[in-house]
Structure 1
């Protein structure tokens, strides 16, 4: 052990590689204390709607740039460790858009039609999410109904071809799918639709 640096060195003469407890992790070559990274992970997990780099910088008393890089390291680790297991039974599938059209101008004369292709935001992305329901036995063991499996995929749009490819890859045949009234899901079979804006809107 190299006490002055809290690191270890391999005793094999042909190796002599120096390493620490964070070697090979997203926190390798870290500059901040380990406790700060653990606090950051706790804040990230506990934030229901996510947390901004500015908020994390204030909570951890660190620079904005450090918080920004740290958040991206956590997101990258989550992306790389995703489980691509297939779903079965009853599954909810829905999509949401990020980076949509900018806010409309106050004056009508200054507004543009964002429905036109040339005016659409090139950074616009769609995130498709699939969530598998618990079975009756699992519900009895977990009354809070939390922790169901989910898989997120970032795509360019919620189209029929994208939905079909998504379902073929992650959903087993014979699974019942719950979704909304979007025509992108017309290519699927055995689906239940939920009509937005109606309290009891499930239709076959």
Structure 2
């Protein structure tokens, strides 16, 4: 798929669908026709150091970029898929320059977009603009969890970024979930809430 087109094309991706804690974060990126950034790839395949380096380059060289999110409360209210699509729509709407076309990673397109849109399965490894969005979303979400770790160090958010690792599940069992941080609609968190309630009786 050629990206050297005269129309502005935004790549869109999200990060944080699987974790038990924190918001889901999305990014939209419009790259220049001749992109000077080398090494763009699916953020999951890159080291943290490489992601941070590329994120800085993307912000410097992109024609436009925007990072947006859907909160833990919105995830619990809407479900994680709909919250992810909401975050992606917010990222597109937040671009300083509105694109004529949007390429979205995955198989679903956010509702409410006012321009042409196409879903591309594994787009974060196929389309540079989606790769760039993947990197911005991942680095922004990781930074959010590092900040949460400073407030709640007992949960180890800086290490596992909210994912259901053995350490995170053990912390949930020991300390219980944090209402404003943990996704109460997710099964492991529900179990931790039930365990807390049983302990009170």
Q: TM-score, normalised by structure 1?
A: 0.33
Q: Which has the larger radius of gyration?
A: 1
Larger relative contact order (Cα-Cα within 8 Å, sequence gap ≥ 6) = 2
Q: TM-score, normalised by structure 2?
A: 0.33
